[in-house]
Structure 1
Amino acid sequence: MQRRQISIFLGLFLVSLLIQCEKPAAPVGLTEGRVLLLTGTVTRNGESLAVDAAVKQGDQIETGDASSAEIVFAKGLIMRLGPNTKAVLDLQASQVQLNKGWFAAVKNANEQKLEVVTPTTVAAVRGTSLCMKVESETSTYACTCNGTVHFHADGIAEEAVTAAEHSAMRFVKEGESVKKEEAGLEFHDNAGIETLAKKIDHPLDWTKPSK
């Protein structure tokens, strides 16, 4: 009887250890976002958007000429949409479908994922900052500003790009495949990315990649 009690106790002890040692599950999906800043004309699903409004699953955000929107999410994620931009937020899949225009994001280093889908490439963002510009249906500019971004496109093997201070490329569709071209610093600068980072208290060190 005593042996049986000891065996049961040991079994329960081991189970409790296993539970404590289990890694927490990676977060699934993004929470609702909040509009932090607006300039010019910005709509959500065709209706005017206001500061402090919540953005939800499936919302389509569109900006006009000389317009922009900043949206902040829990767990340290902020994104900015530039002028003449159209993006659909698939929060359940942690995705932004960037159909046209300019996009930048800064994300703290955590397990929350973020993917940006454009007509020519998909960027999977880690703890990092990036800038993207859909120039046309066949061309997307993408810059890993600081940290690591995984890119993949038709005809191109997935590539992890790590940078301390901007590593840019263009994904250009030719026929049924996409080719990659080197690019310089365009459409953004350090100051703009730093401004976003400060709004989520994310320190940027341009001498080394964020992790």
Structure 2
Amino acid sequence: MEYLLILPLIWLFICVSGIAPLILLRFSNFSPVASPVPIFEKAISVINPTWIDANGFQGKSAIEPMGIPMAIFTNFDETVALAVYFAANQRIVDLVSQFPGEISLTTSTTIDGPLLPSPPGILYQGFPGYDVKDLLRIHQDGVDLLKQHLKTEPLPYGDVADGMRQFTARHLSYLMFRPWKILTLPYRYAVIRKARQELTLQQQEQKGIIHWESLAGQADGWP
């Protein structure tokens, strides 16, 4: 009987632990650091700088939200942002592209993206342990698929760090107005994030996770 009383407390603790980083990130400083060189040096120590140049990426900014050093690069037309950072002693690489209608695609080396319920149009592909060149190929395949179904082109980035700040604010606002979704965090942590590991956009569509008609309508409604 005592165990039955403890279970709701454990569930609540997981929910609070899951939403806390997003709250802290919302109020973090996304301004460029005064000395970006050490952060970029750390980034290129785990990603071949020759690969970075060959694929048209250039250093954009270095930030430290929540004290996490993050180097940000963008490709030649600024439609793909590459973020390299270190959290919990692991290297994480994110590739992000944005589309009209507040639609975005993130392809990452972590599977934690689907942990928090997201606003409509936030798409995620998690491929832990993948090399950055394979990650870029998967991301580009996803971008091409979105271009085909949305009948539009990815939007160029302006200030990537400020875009991250706005995205975090939108994500937190979405959850604060739907607090019941926060209660799904333990299930999403234990089941959903692992079930969606190494699923491309096409595979997610086949499993009914995403729906092209809905996304196309969201993109068409963008002013």
> Structures share a fold, TM > 0.5?
no
Larger strand share, 1 or 2: 1
Using CA pairs below 8 Å that are at least 6 residues apart, which structure has the higher relative contact order?
2
Structure exhibiting the larger radius of gyration computed from Cα positions:
1
